[in-house]
Amino acid sequence: MNVYDDSRAAVRDALRLSRAMTFKAACADLPLGGGKGVIMLGPTDGPLAEERRRAVLRDFGDAVDILAGRYLTAEDVGTSMQDMTVIAESTRHVTGRPVERGGSGDPSLWTALGVESALRVACERAFGSQSLEGRSVSVVGLGHVGGDLARRLAAGGARLVVSDVDERKRALADALGATWAEPAQALVAEVDVLAPCALGGILHHDSVGALRCRAICGAANNQLASDDIADVLEARGILWVPDFVANAGGIINIQVELEPEGYSPDRADARVRAIGDTTRTVLAQAEATGTNPLAAAMELARQRLAEAGVGAAA
């Protein structure tokens, strides 16, 4: 659920995000395709009052239900686990509901675990060790995923710069002993790793020249404004872990929820941590073939789609 200037912008975003979901599911080797739903708020709507929000979510549930299971919805930017419960009043094709309601709970914590696993492998390649002890990381966006990632990194011994447009997140910075910075400063902080965990499009021709990190690994979807930015990062010697590889933890957890044996947090934990192995494969393949990590990850996804008999996404 997000604010868009007009419906064309919302449709464009849904298409970009669903394309990324295709690559995400394929790289994670999940038997799922790619889909995304967008609930558009107009620029003047402001936050929705409770009753209106319920009505909007139920309408969205009706739209999901029409697709009869070909699309499963889940929590993401601007929505919560409670919202999934409201959507479930209109459709059963909703995942990530609270555990007490038969779901697997908030997917963000799993996404954060997967990003941590990928980030450690990025450190292994860039600095020769997975250890976070003394590593500096700048986390941009302290929401559901970024907040939990920051906690995990701090627990692992990392020194953190953190940032959010929402000043209330300063409390978490204080609790973690992290340095608070404005978003524009956090993006160009001199750190080992930059972890973009807010919205997409943060890496573009104007921003990448100013980066002072050695590696980038975060949760935000669609971090690159365009695919050619992967080459620019490569040329600058900045190791970028493709977002759709690093942030697959939520959907991997959802797949565990869909399995006939029923949901198991232990199975989810092992599968989500395997994002580290996928990251290692992608980064090694990029190096071996002289391409960038984006090209290597897309090639892995295309191979998996071809094996599944599905046409490769453009």
Ligand X SMILES: NC(=O)c1ccc[n+]([C@@H]2O[C@H](COP(=O)([O-])OP(=O)(O)OC[C@H]3O[C@@H](n4cnc5c(N)ncnc54)[C@H](O)[C@@H]3O)[C@@H](O)[C@H]2O)c1
Binding site for ligand X (CB under 6 A): 76-78, 107-108, 111, 140-146, 163-166, 183, 197-200, 219-221, 247, 250
How far is 251 from 290, CA to CA, in rounded Å? 30
Q: Which two tokens stand for residue 10?
A: 């919302």
Residues forming a β-bridge with 203: 224
Which residue in the block uniquely carries the two structure tokens 């973690």?
Answer: 176
Cβ-contact 165, 183 below 8 angstroms: yes
We find the least distance from the C-beta atom of residue 187 to ligand X, in angstroms, to be 8
- Residue 91 or 221: which CB sits closer to ligand X? 221
Q: Work out how close the CB of 236 gets to ligand X at its nearest, in angstroms, rounded to a whole number.
A: 22
Cβ atoms of 293 and 240 within 8 Å: the answer is yes
Residue number closest to ligand X, CB atom:
143
| Cα angle: 45, vertex 13, 189; to 5 degrees | 90
What tokens were used for 147?
């907040």
- Closest distance to ligand X from the beta carbon of 246 (Å): 9
Which of 17, 30, 34, 36 does the annotation list as catalytic? 36
Spatial separation of the C-alpha atoms in residues 176 and 170, rounded to whole Å:
10
Question: CA Rg, the chain, in Å?
Answer: 19
Q: Is 169 a catalytic residue?
A: no
For the bound state, the minimum distance from the C-beta of residue 219 to ligand X, rounded and expressed in Å, comes to 4
Q: Using alpha carbons, list the distances in angstroms from residue 5 to 11, 36, 41, 203.
A: 11, 19, 9, 21
Of 269 and 287, CB closest to ligand X: 269
Shortest CB 80 distance to ligand X, Å: 9
Which residue lies nearer to ligand X by CB, 83 or 164? Answer: 164
CA–CA separation, 211 and 189 (whole Å): 7
Pick the closer one to ligand X by CB: 163 or 290: 163
Closer CB to ligand X, 84 or 132, in the complex:
84
**Catalytic positions, written as ranges:** 36
